[in-house]
């Protein structure tokens, strides 16, 4: 059943206890979100990133500035 959600949230999965590299997770996540939104511009009104501390936030901010100018 389709829910027709207009907002979606993405956590930085596995970057904490599992130790997946935060910088790589940020790059992959942001580029995948960008690609999806470019192909599907009217699917979501809002995309949220759930970033659990300053270190993760800063990594995603740097990746945003580097890869999504």
Judge residue 60's burial from the number of C-beta atoms within 10 Å of its C-beta, 0-12 exposed, 13-18 middle, 19 or more buried: buried
Q: What is the spatial distance between Cα 44 and Cα 37, in angstroms, rounded to a whole number?
A: 8
Encoded tokens for 54: 């300053």
- Tens-level pLDDT at each residue, the chain (69 residues): 577 899 999 999 899 889 999 999 999 999 999 999 999 999 999 999 999 999 999 999 999 999 987
Where are the domains positioned within the chain? Answer: 7-67
């Amino acid at each position: 059943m389709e829910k027709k959600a207009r907002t979606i949230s993405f956590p930085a999965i596995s970057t904490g206890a599992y130790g997946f590299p935060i910088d790589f997770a940020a790059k992959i996540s942001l580029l995948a979100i960008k690609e999806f939104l470019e192909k599907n511009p009217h699917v979501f009104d809002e995309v949220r990133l759930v970033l659990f501390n300053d270190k993760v936030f800063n990594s995603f901010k740097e990746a945003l500035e580097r890869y999504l100018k």
